[in-house]
Amino acid sequence: MSRVSADYKSERLEMSKRNKMPGALKRCAALLCAVALAGGLLATGARQAAAQVAAPQRPTAAVNPRSASVVAATSEVLKETGEIRQLGVLRAVKSGAQSRAEIERMLVRNLDEQSTPAELHASEVALKKLGLVPADFQFRSFLIELLTEQVAGYYEPKTQEFYLADWIDLDGQQPVMAHELTHALQDQHFNLLRFSKWPKGDSDAELAAHALVEGDATLVMTFYVMRDLKRVAAMMKSANAEGASSEKIERAPRAIRESLLFPYKQGMDFVSQVYRRGGWPLISEAYKALPQSSEQILHPEKYFAREAPVKVDVPELAELLGKNWTRLDYDVNGEWSYFQILDEYLRAEKESQKAAAGWGGDRFALYENRTTRNVLLAQLTAWDTATDAAEFFDAYVRRTERRYKDAIADTRASVPTETRRVWRTTGEGLVVMERQGARVAILEGVPEKTNVSALLKKVLGTS
C-alpha cells in the first residue's frame, strides 16, 4: 500500500467540535503537511500523495497580496519555533501565500514528477485487489482532489521556501507556520531532501521516516499552540471557518484516510515517547538513526531496542504464471498496512492490531496480465514467532472469507487445515494461504490452471 514522499505541506482537517481540547488539538495537529498516504501498498499511495513539494516553484505572475503578512510573520514564528525545538535558525526562510489554484498546480506537477503513471496504476490495482477502495476508484484524480482540499501550507526542501494557503486567515495559520517552519529547521539541520529521494521498494521504511519528520513538526506545533490559548481559539476558529472543508477526506476510503494521518497521529505519539525519554536532543539524534518500520513507530520500544525488520524476498513468478503476466510492484507492507488490510473487513481494531503485531518483515509482489487484466498479489510474511504467524494466519483467513464473500473452500486442492487454505472465487481465481513455522505466504488471484503447489514452493523458497 502506498508511500509517502518528502513534501511538507499543511493540511486542514475538520476540527470536530466533539473533541475535547487535547483530542481536538491532536485532531488539529492534523493540520497536516499533505505529505503522506501510507507504508507498503498503502505507503505507495502515501508517497504519491506526499510527493507534492519536490518540484521547484515556477515564478508566479503577480505577488499574492497575502504574501506580505505571511512574510512579516515568518521570522517571528521561526524564532519562536527554533526556541521551542531547540534548533538554531541557520538561515532565513523565504515564504509567501498562494491561491488554491497555484497550490493545486504545484500538487499536480509534483505528483506527476514523483510518480510515474505506471506507479499510480500499480497502487490503484493493489488497493482494489485488497478490497480497500471501490472497483471504480480513480487514484490519481482522488489524490489531487483530496490534497487540494486539505493543503493549508507547504514547505519545499528543494527551494527551502514555504507557502501558506491564501484563503485561510493568518491568525489560524500561525500554528501551521510553526509546523512548516519546523520542517525548515529540520531541513537546515538534518537535510530533508534525502527523504524525497527514498529508494523504491521499501515504502514501510519510508513511512516510518516520515512519521518522525511529521510527528516532530506536529509536536512542535502543539507546544507552540499551548503557549498561548489565544492561538488555540484562533486555530479552532479558522478550522471551522468558511472554505475549510473536510468533505473529501471524510469520504475517503478508510485505509487511505488513516494512512494519510499516520505520520501525524502515530508519528506524534512516537515522537512524544522519544521526547519523554530524552527531550528534543534525542529527537534530533533520531535523524541519524531513523526508525526503520511502521512497527517501530507503533511500538517505540522496538525502535529503542533497534529491532530491525527481517529482509524478505519473493522470487520472480511470471514464468510459473504463464504468458502476459507483468510484475507491477515489489514492496514492503509493514505492520501498519496489515492492520489496515485486516481491519477493513474484520472491523475489530483490537483483534486486527493483535494479529498485525509480531510482524517481523514482509514482501509483496503484484502482477497483472496484460491481456486479461487479471491480477495476482503474492505476499510473503515473516513473524517474530510461530504463534504470531498462526494468529495472523487465522485473522487473514477470517478477512479473506469476508473479502471474497462468494469464495468456496477448494477441498480438492487442499483440505482446509490450520496451515493451508485454498478458496475458489468467482472471477478472481484462487486464493491460497500457507503457514510454515513463523512465515505465512498468501496468493490472491491465482489463475485456475496454475500449479498451486509449485507456486507456493517458489514463494516460500522450498522448491
Q: Is 221 in the site for Zn ion (CB under 5 A)?
A: no
Of the ranges 25-33, 118-126, 251-259, 345-353, which one interacts with Zn ion (CB under 5 A)?
Answer: 25-33
Nearer residue to Zn ion within complex by CB, 217 or 382: 217
* Residue facing Zn ion at closest CB distance: 33
Nearer residue to Zn ion within complex by CB, 34 or 452: 34
Nearer residue to Zn ion within complex by CB, 212 or 320: 212
Q: Is 404 in the site for Zn ion (CB under 5 A)?
A: no
Whole-number minimum distance, CB 147 to Zn ion, in Å?
A: 13
Nearer residue to Zn ion within complex by CB, 36 or 407: 36
- Number of amino acids touching Zn ion (CB under 5 A): 4
Whole-number minimum distance, CB 32 to Zn ion, in Å?
A: 6
Nearer residue to Zn ion within complex by CB, 33 or 122: 33
Of the ranges 40-48, 186-194, 208-216, 450-458, which one interacts with Zn ion (CB under 5 A)?
Answer: 208-216
Q: Exactly one of 2, 8, 46, 331 binds Zn ion (CB under 5 A); which one?
A: 8
Nearer residue to Zn ion within complex by CB, 31 or 395: 31
Q: What gap in Å lies between CA 421 and CA 344, rounded to an integer?
A: 21
Q: What gap in Å lies between CA 203 and CA 55, rounded to an integer?
A: 21
One character per residue 71-100, x = contact with Zn ion (rule: CB under 5 A): ------------------------------
Cα–Cα separations (whole angstroms), residue 358 to 179, 381, 407, 461? 33, 11, 28, 22
Q: Which of residues 148-177 bind Zn ion (CB under 5 A)?
A: none
Whole-number minimum distance, CB 143 to Zn ion, in Å?
A: 17
Of the ranges 4-12, 164-172, 223-231, 317-325, which one interacts with Zn ion (CB under 5 A)?
Answer: 4-12
Q: Exactly one of 25, 28, 29, 33 binds Zn ion (CB under 5 A); which one?
A: 33
Nearer residue to Zn ion within complex by CB, 217 or 317: 217
Of the ranges 3-11, 56-64, 267-275, 386-394, which one interacts with Zn ion (CB under 5 A)?
Answer: 3-11
Q: Is 217 in the site for Zn ion (CB under 5 A)?
A: yes
Whole-number minimum distance, CB 35 to Zn ion, in Å?
A: 6
Q: Which residues bind Zn ion (CB under 5 A)?
A: 8, 33, 214, 217
